[in-house]
A = this chain, B = another copy of it.
Amino acid sequence: MSEQLQQPLYSQSLIVDLYELTMAAGYFENNYNHLSTFELFVREMPAHRSFLVVAGLQQVIEYLLNLSFSEDQITYLRAQPVFQHVTPEFWDYLAKFRFHGEVWAMPEGQIAFAREPLLRVTAPIIEAQIIETFLLSMINFQTLIASKAARVVQAAQSDGVNRMVMEFGSRRAHGPEASLLAARASYLAGCAGTSNVMAGMRYGIPIFGTAAHSWTMAFPTELEAFKAYHKVFPESTILLIDTYDIEEGARHAVEIGPQIKGVRIDSGDLLKESRKVRRILDEAGLQHVKIVVSGDLNEYKIAKLVAAGAPIDSFGVGTQMVTSEDAPSLGGIYKLVEQQIKGQVRYRAKFSRQKATYPGKKQVFRKTDSNGHFVEDIIGLEIDEIPPGHFPLLVPIIQRGELVYDFPPLPDVQKFFLQNLQRLPEKYKQLEPTEPYPVRCSTLLENLFNQLKQQELELESQE
């Protein structure tokens, strides 16, 4: 069905909190495996964020379609004392385990907000429960990074000029796989590419790289280092000019000649230095030579440089983007909202003011105006009629365990996100949010919630 899908890098089946498996065994032994619906959503927006960029769905689906437990894994589990009273039938069940459920989700690159289900799973509760940890880990991380990267790219282009942002953060990401996933999520949200070669090969992302300070330091002089590099990469020479003295570095770059493509500045006052360097290049007739800057950048520093008119052509951004430094976790949760017990729908909800969970299988309806701009979202029930002028955000991805969705290539996901971003009015995408995008519940959903709450109160008063 989908050419884009890949085999997971390694067996991910035991990337699971132990309690998912004790609950699984508990449901099995109690013969209590009702069809259940869980929804994945974020209760509150992370600090400073006004929208989320949905990411990680493809890796979730690759996991689900490949999810099974090997003999070794089952042997390990059986030996855990906690499982000592579990019957052999459960282990037989686990040995044959496959995901047979249904998944609806917002496509990657969709713009989403707090409280909106990003993904909805309906399956026998054992299947729906076991997958929780992986789903959260993958969607939380990629959505976190995509949402951060979108801000960085926005800042780089905040004067309307199409400056590139390159993701350079592999060395500071949370381990090797995080570097790979961060490269993917950043590209999806508008970065031009990454320094991470594996991300290039695995996801088809453009890869970028220049040279490090060590290159310059390894040669007797900076000029010799530049010459040695240019000899091997004559058509793609970007010279790092701040190892010793930036202005001298710029003059050495000029000496290499007009074939060089760019220079990179990785330290110092980037506004001042980029201006000096631009002047040196221009005076030598190298107007076409680009200036790339890097060095602990974030959206705020970049917006300031752009607003000051710094003559910078592209940004290399690492640490702060790939760790989402100012808000380094996304609090996505996965909540039971509905069960089918003996043919009856049983809604599940939580009524506490801070941690309310709304019941029922949901859909998100987005209203657009005549220009296609996003106006408002309504969180409704799946059975809600689509209100006029709205379109539904959750689409079917897996049905009866089978893929029913054609994953687009990653460049198309990026295009889709950039179109969505265009459709989101300016006032909802400031770096510091001023006005939240309006999200409300449908009448049907509010009524259901209130009705269940009323029943709960009545039950309590009877006790």
Taking CB atoms, residues of chain B closer than 8 Å to A176 are: 12, 15, 134, 137-138, 177
Asked if A140 contacts B172 (CB within 8 A), the reply is yes
Is A452 in contact with chain B by the CB < 8 A criterion? no
Copies in the assembly, this chain: 2
Taking CB atoms, residues of chain B closer than 8 Å to A228 are: 26, 30, 32
Asked if A198 contacts B14 (CB within 8 A), the reply is yes
Asked if B168 contacts A174 (CB within 8 A), the reply is no
Query: In the complex, A319→B144 CA distance in Å?
Result: 13
Query: In the complex, A132→B211 CA distance in Å?
Result: 13
With beta carbons under 8 angstroms apart, the residue of B210, B231, B329 that contacts A325 is: B329
Is A192 in contact with chain B by the CB < 8 A criterion? no
Asked if A17 contacts B170 (CB within 8 A), the reply is yes
Chain B: CB-nearest residue to A336:
B214
Asked if B172 contacts A212 (CB within 8 A), the reply is no
With beta carbons under 8 angstroms apart, the residue of B20, B232, B319 that contacts A329 is: B319
With beta carbons under 8 angstroms apart, the residue of B9, B198, B214, B229 that contacts A16 is: B198
Query: In the complex, A76→B22 CA distance in Å?
Result: 44
CB distance from A118 to the nearest CB of B (A): 14
Taking CB atoms, residues of chain B closer than 8 Å to A29 are: 231-232
Taking CB atoms, residues of chain B closer than 8 Å to A179 are: 15, 133, 137
Chain B: CB-nearest residue to A73:
B201
Asked if A210 contacts B85 (CB within 8 A), the reply is no
Query: In the complex, A178→B175 CA distance in Å?
Result: 6
CB distance from A176 to the nearest CB of B (A): 4
Of A94-102, A103-111, A233-241, the one contacting chain B is A233-241
Asked if B232 contacts A86 (CB within 8 A), the reply is yes
Asked if A180 contacts B15 (CB within 8 A), the reply is yes
Query: In the complex, A233→B211 CA distance in Å?
Result: 58
Taking CB atoms, residues of chain B closer than 8 Å to A210 are: 19, 22
Size of A's binding interface in residues, CB under 8 A:
101
Asked if B85 contacts A233 (CB within 8 A), the reply is yes
Is A307 in contact with chain B by the CB < 8 A criterion? no
Query: In the complex, A142→B200 CA distance in Å?
Result: 25
Looking at A136, A215, A243, A329, the one whose CB has the most chain B CB atoms below 10 A away is A329
Taking CB atoms, residues of chain B closer than 8 Å to A212 are: 19-20, 23, 129, 132
Taking CB atoms, residues of chain B closer than 8 Å to A22 are: 209-211, 232-233
Is A195 in contact with chain B by the CB < 8 A criterion? yes
Given known contacts A30-B232, A176-B15, A329-B172, is B214 in contact with A267 (CB within 8 Å)? no
Query: In the complex, A15→B176 CA distance in Å?
Result: 6
Taking CB atoms, residues of chain B closer than 8 Å to A211 are: 19, 22-23, 26
Query: In the complex, A26→B319 CA distance in Å?
Result: 26
Name 30 interchain pairs, CB-CB below 8 A, sorted by A.
A9-B10, A14-B200, A14-B201, A15-B176, A15-B196, A18-B196, A18-B200, A19-B209, A19-B210, A22-B233, A26-B211, A32-B228, A73-B201, A76-B200, A76-B201, A81-B236, A82-B209, A85-B232, A85-B234, A85-B235, A129-B212, A136-B172, A137-B170, A137-B172, A137-B178, A172-B330, A217-B350, A218-B339, A218-B348, A325-B329
Closest 8 CB pairs of A and B: A18-B209, A177-B177, A19-B209, A174-B174, A14-B198, A136-B171, A328-B328, A9-B10
